[in-house]
């Protein structure tokens, strides 16, 4: 069998695997200096009690023949899709119906799997820096910067790390993430409108990664791209319960593919992307488990909503503290206000991995090197609020003692 040569165009290891390996090596060599993990954005708080109780009850259902559940509906159980449509959209004045919602095992998988829908010669546009899954999944499908199928969108400190609508070359699929991973920047409604206008004018698709929408605390900032008029005709929105409700280990999220979103085949005929996604999912995916979906449903109960909000506030406080600490140290930083991530510029001349190593050696802190998110992230690191309050305080103390 001949292997998929596109893999030869990928970096040897996935970013977080590389970071993890370096931290493990350091920890083995220094067993008495516990490293505070501020790299991968993994939650630390346990499941909200309402979620855990709903899952316990669902396990009970599975123990009885009368309430047992085998294969579920491919798009997800109606009880969860209805809760999503009602709470995440209709309650905010957005008309999304349950038959436009696809429950899945997480945003990362959905975003990566979406490439199945693109024609071979599709040109994708990604900001730089960017969540590596957008780029790597396209490289696996044969797109590279060298063959012109991956185009980088300008996104740097001159524009507060907000991707700028390009002039000139047409991009078929645009990846946007707000609140942004890794930079913590957040797009305003006007920013999103500019992209929706571009997509409508060029017949492009926007893949909107909204995995961190729960961290938006400024009511003026949008949490869904569908807050922009006309977005349903050009955008897919992907959401996750990982960071919203601590589901990183459970796996559940959802993708909205509006009925109004159409594309064309090579022969010119029109097709609803929703139909293609359903066809793709029914072929390659068997759904998130019944127990997990009952847990996700509980997030929308009054108690669940309160408990999950408290957890988000906890992580946001950590992120804010980190951001303030960076400001105090005189380092250029953004994020940490409507986002769990803080993006920090290294002091003069230091590269991302150099600062990563320095912080690991001197402060026993692991961070994510910005260059791992693309060349545009060189010279920066990412800190995360997903840690305990106590560890965040400890990390800040260690950083304060550092002479950079």
Cα distance between residue 357 and residue 353, in whole Å? 6
Nearer to ligand MLT, 40 or 164 (CB): 40
In the complex, what is the shortest distance from the CB of residue 239 to ligand MLT, in angstroms, rounded to a whole number? 12
SS3 95: coil
Binding status of residue 129 toward ligand MLT by CB under 6 A: no
Binding status of residue 108 toward ligand MLT by CB under 6 A: yes
Nearer to ligand MLT, 84 or 111 (CB): 111
DSSP 8-state class, residue 118: S
In the complex, what is the shortest distance from the CB of residue 278 to ligand MLT, in angstroms, rounded to a whole number? 24
Nearer to ligand MLT, 85 or 333 (CB): 333
In the complex, what is the shortest distance from the CB of residue 385 to ligand MLT, in angstroms, rounded to a whole number? 11
Q: What does 21-51 look like in DSSP terms, one character per residue?
A: HHHHHHHHH-TTSPPEE-SS----SPPPHHH
E strand segments, 49-157? 101-104, 124-127, 150-153
Candidates 10, 35, 40, 194; binder of ligand MLT (CB under 6 A) is 40
Q: What is each CA distance from 280 to 45, 54, 74, 364, in whole angstroms?
A: 34, 30, 11, 44
In the complex, what is the shortest distance from the CB of residue 368 to ligand MLT, in angstroms, rounded to a whole number? 7
Near ligand MLT by CB under 6 A, which window of 39-47, 166-174, 321-329, 349-357? 39-47
Near ligand MLT by CB under 6 A, which window of 35-43, 54-62, 74-82, 391-399? 35-43
Candidates 23, 38, 41, 138; binder of ligand MLT (CB under 6 A) is 41
Annotate each residue in 50-89 with x if it binds ligand MLT (CB under 6 A) or - if it does not, as one string: ----------------------------------------
Nearer to ligand MLT, 18 or 42 (CB): 42
Q: What is each CA distance from 70 to 21, 221, 293, 298, in whole angstroms?
A: 38, 41, 13, 21
Whether the CB-CB separation of 281 and 265 falls below 8 Å is answered with: no
Of 161-190, which residues contact ligand MLT (CB under 6 A)? Answer: 181
Of 328-357, which residues contact ligand MLT (CB under 6 A)? Answer: none
In the complex, what is the shortest distance from the CB of residue 304 to ligand MLT, in angstroms, rounded to a whole number? 22
Nearer to ligand MLT, 39 or 100 (CB): 39
Binding status of residue 37 toward ligand MLT by CB under 6 A: no
Cα distance between residue 359 and residue 220, in whole Å? 36
Nearer to ligand MLT, 308 or 383 (CB): 383
2 CB contacts (<8 Å, ≥6 apart)? none
In the complex, what is the shortest distance from the CB of residue 313 to ligand MLT, in angstroms, rounded to a whole number? 19
**Cα 249 to chain centroid, rounded:** 15
173 CB contacts (<8 Å, ≥6 apart)? 118, 122, 123, 124, 125, 204, 205, 206, 207
Tokens of 21: 């390996």
Total binding residues for ligand MLT by CB under 6 A?
5
Sign of the C-alpha dihedral computed for residues 273, 274, 276 and 280 taken in this order:
positive
Nearer to ligand MLT, 17 or 310 (CB): 17
Residues at the site binding ligand MLT, with contacts judged by CB under 6 A: 40-42, 108, 181
């Amino acid at each position: 069998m001949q292997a998929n040569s596109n893999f030869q165009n990928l970096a040897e290891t996935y970013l977080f695997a590389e970071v993890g390996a370096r931290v493990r090596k350091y920890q083995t060599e220094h067993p008495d200096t516990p490293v505070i993990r501020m790299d991968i954005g993994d939650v630390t708080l346990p499941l909200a009690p309402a979620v855990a109780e709903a899952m316990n009850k669902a396990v009970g259902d599975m123990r009885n023949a009368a309430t047992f559940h085998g294969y579920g509906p491919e798009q997800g159980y109606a009880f969860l899709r209805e809760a999503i449509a009602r709470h995440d959209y209709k309650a905010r004045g957005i008309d999304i119906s349950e038959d436009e919602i696809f429950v899945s095992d997480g945003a990362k998988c959905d975003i990566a799997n979406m490439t199945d829908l693109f024609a071979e010669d599709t040109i994708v546009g990604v900001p730089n820096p960017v969540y590596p899954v957008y780029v790597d999944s396209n490289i696996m499908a044969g797109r590279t910067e060298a063959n012109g199928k991956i185009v980088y969108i300008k996104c740097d400190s001159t524009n507060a790390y907000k991707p700028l609508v390009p002039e000139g070359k047409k991009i078929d699929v645009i990846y946007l993430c707000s609140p942004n991973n890794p930079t913590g920047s957040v797009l305003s409604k006007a920013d999103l409108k500019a992209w929706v206008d571009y997509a409508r004018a060029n017949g492009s698709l926007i893949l909107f990664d909204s995995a961190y929408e729960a961290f938006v605390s400024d009511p003026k900032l949008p949490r869904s791209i569908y807050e922009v008029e006309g977005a349903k005709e050009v955008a897919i929105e992907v959401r996750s319960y990982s960071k919203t409700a601590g589901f990183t280990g459970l796996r559940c999220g959802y993708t909205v593919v509006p009925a109004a979103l159409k594309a064309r085949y090579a022969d010119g005929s029109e097709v609803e992307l929703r139909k293609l996604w359903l066809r793709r999912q029914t072929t390659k995916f068997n759904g998130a488990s019944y127990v997990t979906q009952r847990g996700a449903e509980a997030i929308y109960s009054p108690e669940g909503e309160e408990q999950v909000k408290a957890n988000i506030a906890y992580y946001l406080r950590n992120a804010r503290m980190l951001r303030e600490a960076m400001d105090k140290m005189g380092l250029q930083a953004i994020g940490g206000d409507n986002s769990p991530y803080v993006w920090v510029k290294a002091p003069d001349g230091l590269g991302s991995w150099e600062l990563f190593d320095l912080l690991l050696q001197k402060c026993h802190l692991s961070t994510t090197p910005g260059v791992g998110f693309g060349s545009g992230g060189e010279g920066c690191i990412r800190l995360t609020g997903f840690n305990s309050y106590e560890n965040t305080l400890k990390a800040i103390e260690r950083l304060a003692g550092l002479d950079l």
